[in-house]
Amino acid sequence: MALHAAAFAIGYWMSKLSFGESTSRTISIECGMQSSALGFLLAQKHFTNPLVAVPSAVSVVCMALGGSALAVFWRNSPIPIDDKDDFKE
């Protein structure tokens, strides 16, 4: 869970250096929702022990829960009027 939380936070704060709130939120979600399914498939393909894929499977669940929670939080948080982005919701 810490990996995904760090990815959400780093994606948000690094993008805030150049972009407005709307774009920063989008980049944060994209950074945090990286494909743990790829790790699951690679573990199944290259290792014989099926337990090797368990960490990736747990990561998929954490990624989905964290991303969904963040999206719900931001859905209920208004974007400031003076946002740097060219578009508004």
Q: Given a cut of 70, is residue 85 above it in pLDDT? A: no
Is residue 25 within 8 A of residue 74, CB to CB? The reply is yes
Span 11-27, average pLDDT = 91
Residue among 52, 64, 46 at smallest CA distance from 8: 64
* Rounded CA separation 87/89 (Å): 7
| 27-71 tens-digit pLDDT | 999 888 877 777 888 888 899 898 998 888 888 888 889 999 999
10 inside domain? yes
Q: Is residue 84 part of a domain?
A: no
> Residue 89: is its pLDDT beyond 60?
no
Q: Which domain holds residue 43?
A: 2-75
> pTM score, two decimals?
0.74
Asked, for residue 40, whether it belongs to a domain, the answer is yes
Count of domains forming the chain: 1
**3-state SS, residue 61:** helix
